[in-house]
Amino acid sequence: MTALQALTSYGVGISSFVTSPRVRPHHRRVILAKVEPSDKSVEIMRKFSEQYARKSGTYFCVDKGVTSVVIKGLADHKDSLGAPLCPCRHYDDKAAEAGQGFWNCPCVPMRERKECHCMLFLTPDNDFAGQEQTISLEEIKVATANM
Amino acid sequence: MNSSNSSTNFLPPPPPLSLSLFKLGIMLSVPSIFSSRAPPSPPPLSLSNFPFKTHNRNLLFPTTTTRPSLLSAPISPSLPRKLLCRPPSAKYVREDYLVKKLSAKEVQELVKGERNVPLIIDFYATWCGPCILMAQELEMLAVEYESNALIVKVDTDDEYEFARDMQVRGLPTLYFISPDPNKEAIRTEGLIPIQMMRDIIDNQM
């Protein structure tokens, strides 16, 4: 798992190096307080969320900001732990929990009872449920731009 | 109702009329709520930043152009409204959040110290979606209660041990701590409606 993560980060590093080989970038990168999840993981979790919403007959929140934040949280855990651990819980030992699997998305409460307390997958009778089962990468980026 | 379902099986009550305008402000500033972790760079909003002079200049126009005259060029019956000030962009609204983020040590001192108002602690995480909605509700509550309640938030990713000691599991978790040391603290897990929070503060504290 760590080798895969290293490969991913190395791949990202190489691509950015190729685009600007000798010229220094004119714009300064803003240093974020918290490390953002990689674009690749965000895309993977976005596709997973759309697919699982379709499969389970659930819908995204009316406020796509909530959906975006949770997808990024899943991507962040996927990067750091190798598995998309639920971002809306606090754990004593994240690595152990990721290995155990109960709270890996889709978590057991979701699989068994369609209960998603992250408000990522909402049953149609839920007051916060929207009409959509899709979300674009652009929507995710815009909603989480200021984080 | 299980705690895991509590966030999802309720009808949010309509906000009181006095809050509806404020809620609009909150809705407009959702991106700024997201930016609660942004570096504190933008200057605070102040009316002195806005062009009063421009507005005064515009006041001159109505006196010269509203007088009807056959010779004057046809003008629209009402002048386009000029805004007193530019509406604040979402980034700069609510730069000073009422709900402050505290460290574990600061919270512990608050709990141990003497208070005469209830203390509400919001345990959240950066990438927890419902925590963002809860933060908006708590901001509204902070405005409503002003100095009659003290609301603070703790990042569970930063204060790992403190969250573990407080037995935080699902996020967001709220602790309502009464100023009366004999009363027990109340703990809620998941997104709860603002009315429930008001009931707890008014009746249980």
Q: Please give the mean pLDDT across all residues of chain A.
A: 84
Q: Which of B47-51, B88-92, B144-148 has the highest mean pLDDT?
A: B144-148
- What CA–CA distance (Å, rounded) separates A120 from A48? 11
Residue B27 has a pLDDT of 41
Structure tokens at A34: 């918290």
Please check the confidence at residue B157 and state whether its pLDDT lies above 80.
yes
Average pLDDT over residues A71-89: 96
Cross-strand bridge partners of residue B177 = B119
Residue A72 has a pLDDT of 96
Q: What is the gyration radius of the CA atoms in chain A, in angstroms?
A: 17
* Domains of chain B, start order: 100-204 (3.40.30.10)
Q: Which of A18-32, B11-25, B84-98, B180-194 has the highest mean pLDDT?
A: B180-194
Determine the residue of chain A that is closest to B36 in CA distance: A147
Choice between B95 and A98, residue whose per-residue pLDDT is larger: A98
Please check the confidence at residue B58 and state whether its pLDDT lies above 50.
no
- What CA–CA distance (Å, rounded) separates A129 from A120? 9
> With an 8 Å Cβ cutoff, are B128 and A69 in contact?
yes
Please check the confidence at residue A25 and state whether its pLDDT lies above 70.
no
- Which of A121-135, B34-48, B69-83 bottoms out in mean pLDDT, i.e. has the lowest? B34-48
Collect all residues of chain A within an 8 Å Cβ-Cβ radius of residue B94. none
CA angle B150, B152, B158 (to 5 degrees): 160
Please check the confidence at residue A134 and state whether its pLDDT lies above 80.
yes
pLDDT band at B81 (very low <50, low <70, confident <90, very high): low
Residue A35 has a pLDDT of 73
The contacts of residue A77 (CB under 8 Å, 6+ apart) are A83, A84, A85, A87, A94, A98
Please check the confidence at residue B151 and state whether its pLDDT lies above 60.
yes
Please check the confidence at residue B33 and state whether its pLDDT lies above 80.
no
Please check the confidence at residue A11 and state whether its pLDDT lies above 70.
no
Please check the confidence at residue B201 and state whether its pLDDT lies above 80.
yes
Q: How far is A11 from chain B (nearest CA, A)?
A: 25
Active-site choice (B111, B128, B185, B196): B128
Please check the confidence at residue A85 and state whether its pLDDT lies above 60.
yes
Q: For A48-68, what is each residue's pLDDT tens digit?
A: 999 999 999 999 999 999 999
Structure tokens at A47: 């596709």
Please check the confidence at residue B31 and state whether its pLDDT lies above 60.
no
Domain boundaries in chain A? 39-144
Choice between A69 and B34, residue whose per-residue pLDDT is larger: A69
Determine the residue of chain A that is closest to B91 in CA distance: A146
Query: Which of A65, A109, A147 lies nearest to residue B4, judging by beta carbons?
Result: A109
Determine the residue of chain A that is closest to B9 in CA distance: A126
Determine the residue of chain A that is closest to B191 in CA distance: A117
Active-site choice (A88, A105, A107, A118): A88
Q: How far is A84 from chain B (nearest CA, A)?
A: 12
Please check the confidence at residue A10 and state whether its pLDDT lies above 80.
no
Residue B84 has a pLDDT of 67
Complex-level ipTM: 0.75
CATH class of the region A39-144: alpha beta
In chain B, which among 62-81 make CB contacts under 8 A with chain A?
Answer: none
Active-site choice (B26, B93, B99, B131): B131
> With an 8 Å Cβ cutoff, are B10 and A127 in contact?
yes
> With an 8 Å Cβ cutoff, are B8 and A89 in contact?
no
Q: Is B158 within 8 Å of chain A by CB? A: no
The contacts of residue B102 (CB under 8 Å, 6+ apart) are B110, B152, B153, B154
- Amino acid present at B91: K
> With an 8 Å Cβ cutoff, are B34 and A65 in contact?
yes
Average pLDDT over residues A69-83: 96
> With an 8 Å Cβ cutoff, are A33 and B39 in contact?
yes
Residue B96 has a pLDDT of 73
pLDDT band at B181 (very low <50, low <70, confident <90, very high): confident
Choice between A61 and A27, residue whose per-residue pLDDT is larger: A61
Residue B63 has a pLDDT of 46
User: B186: helix, coil or strand?
Assistant: strand
- Catalytic residue check, A116: no
Residue A24 has a pLDDT of 53
Structure tokens at A122: 């909402």
Structure tokens at A5: 């993560």
- Amino acid present at A68: S
Average pLDDT over residues B120-126: 96
Residue B77 has a pLDDT of 53
- Catalytic residue check, B85: no
Residue B93 has a pLDDT of 42
